[in-house]
A and B are shown apart, each in its own frame.
Chain A
């Protein structure tokens, strides 16, 4: 009898947990300590504001998340109500297959423009419906340590020739000019993107990532002619394929490497004493006749079609879109909030925002704009080029045959 009573009690306890509060499950790729903490604190704010919900965060390492997301979305019975992801093609890929649902209810009684810049809307939509709630965005720039540049009397370069001179000065002083870690090859794609944008401009870049231009096009070859100069003069970190991007960043933090073309998220992993010493400059101009374009990936959330608690998901996204939530996240990480009512959290972010506002246009990122399969072979091709620049024609021919197969044109 006693056992039975205990059993009854147990059921009651479990039931009160399960039914007293509605559960919202978030699967997140924010695995670096700083963003992880920021998200946890955001969730606490949400739970205080909406006491009827209990949030569970499942955090996954970034690269694993990219693989796992598909299995979650495709399984008949979902577990996650909200998932972190990237705006643009990579979101549309899932929208097209009906694996994520529109989240227009977030804007019930209001409209997109009350929250976010009108220019973000198309990146977050598919066939006229909004599927993606942006949380923050950031810019890519050439990061360096102010104290190192000062000591060597280096000024941030504005043109390609100046940039090469800076590389040479750093090298002469025993500092690796450019840090990069290509163990995961996407960092090399950053270089491809920015060189292509500076040399051939935005329209060409968009057609290329959309699979409409052959990789053997002379304009693509030209990108590698510039890139090759940096490779052949040994300006990049030696053994870069041994390192992940965070490991390569430590060379910059320790003053062993001079510059790093990377996103603002590099600040997430910088030690406190280096953080304020870090600054960035706009990637130098190569062809003055090409307007300035930058890379500004947008991060945010979407709702799987198989989410068990869609109501809770919408409530959470409504909170995420709000000024207070966006302000908190931007402030903690020094990113730019997507919400138009949030000012840049600090001087650094203001500088980044100004750089973007002065640009003639922006893109997401190579692997966010391309088909995933093309992105995989493309990025590996870029890394192979960085090891064997002489093989570029061979590599481009291979990429071209892959492009034909993947896009069928």
Chain B
């Protein structure tokens, strides 16, 4: 059902246009990289600050700012990612690095949802120091996002 839906993406007018255009794909791919830059740049900064590896700036100010930039980045990356995927859905669904990347992104997003609903997040917004649980989630976040970027680049090498 889901697979059929994903495969159908390849039959859309937009996918067809992307396959034929000389500049469409490189432009969308550039926007995808911009999304990754915003996402990973801000999330690494925030995670390292939560882990106290970086010490400057107050978490109560940095956390909402950086997580919002990361949210914009991830939305841009997902939007452009769907377009890049639509060019040849069957090819990507058969690529193990791509499937691994999707699994890693799903785990990372679950981590985001969990962290933002837990009391330690509200505590740092209120100016309190990061708890051990929050530091652990920052470490998980760092690992998952970096692994997702690596798996993504690996798509071209399997």
A, B from the same assembly: no
